[in-house]
Structure 1
């Protein structure tokens, strides 16, 4: 596990701040200890310093991973969040979208969210803002990007797309062969 370079740290924090804003600081300085981001084979892991010190005792050639995989860098150098980061980001989300029960299954199959399936949306959500998608029971379902602002959603056609799909908890089932 190696430390992230300044450039990669900037890309990771930009992506995280798109979804949780300034709450990124709360991910690092937590009441239960200090947490850090580390890189291994182009994947970014979120791990406590305590566990990181224990992981240093493992030989590098026997090392697979430690902590929670937050995402990976693509071959083009972009950072993509993995769905495994959802449970850590959902409590700090600034912009949220809640889906009606009839639209949950479509979102979990990897489809975008239409206005007809929109239950609620956080006020002052801007167009192309990163959002966390929830069920009406406040269960986090995945990540998305707002296709319309809150004001535009109020006057949109029922079949208009209001949220672009990024990742969802159904990915575990759809791509179980390619996760590792």
Structure 2
């Protein structure tokens, strides 16, 4: 388990800023228990510094430690995993709520259509990272907006509002690749 390089930190923070904006500072500068990001087998983990220090003795045999935020590809691209959803939901800048009839299609990996849209945060720009919630405020996943809030109001019911990126259904569909 090693610290991130400068390029990896830049790539990770650019991706996180797409979803949580300036709230990235809340991840690092925690008053209760300092946390840090570490890389282990191309995966980025968000872990308490105290736990990380205790785990240094078992490092070669370590499967995972902390919350897996995502994975770096061989080309250096960072892809967020659904395991980071709890943190993203806590600090999300823009949110989308899905009607009950749109929850299952989203959790099967489909995009969110305007017919399934319950609410959206005002002034959400196009191509912005959003966290997707059910109407009962349960985080279901995250994606990227296909349209801004103003454009979404003019869209027909079959138009795509949010491009799917990850959902809680992945825990079942891709359980062997998440860890």
TM bucket (normalised to shorter chain) is over 0.9
What's the TM-score once normalised by structure 1's chain length? 0.97
Distance in 1 between the 2:157 and 2:61 partners?
53
More helix by share: 2
| C-alpha distance in structure 1 between counterparts of 2:77 and 2:8, whole Å | 9
The alignment of Structure 1 onto Structure 2 pairs a total of residues equal to 179
Aligned to 2:30: 30
Which secondary structure does the structure 2 equivalent of 1:8 belong to? helix
Report 1:27-106 matches (<5 A): 27-58=27-58, 60-106=59-105
CA distance in 1, matches of 2:96, 2:79: 20
CA distance in 1, matches of 2:122, 2:147: 12
Query: Does the 8 Å contact 2:98/2:132 carry over to 1?
Result: yes
- Structure 2 gap segments, 5+ residues each: none
Partner deviation per Cα, 1:25-82 (whole Å, 9 max, x = no partner): 0011223211000001110000011101111122x32222211110000122100001
Distance 2:15 2:49 in 1: 22
**Alpha-carbon separation, structure 1, partners of 2:154 and 2:33:** 46
Instruction: State the SS of the aligned residue for 1:111.
Output: coil
CA RMSD of aligned residues (A): 0.9
Which whole-Å deviations, capped at 9, do the CAs of 1:56-110 have from their partners, x for residues lacking one?
Answer: 122x322222111100001221000010100011011010000000000000000
Would you say the 8 A contact 2:81–2:178 is kept in 1?
Answer: no
Instruction: Structure 1: give runs of 5+ residues left out of the alignment.
Output: none
Cα distance in 2 between the residues matched to 1:110 and 1:41: 26
Q: Which runs of 4+ in 1 moved over 4 A?
A: none
User: TM-score, length-normalised on structure 2?
Assistant: 0.97
In 2, the alpha carbon distance for the partners of 1:89 and 1:32 equals 19
Residue aligned with 2:47, SS: strand
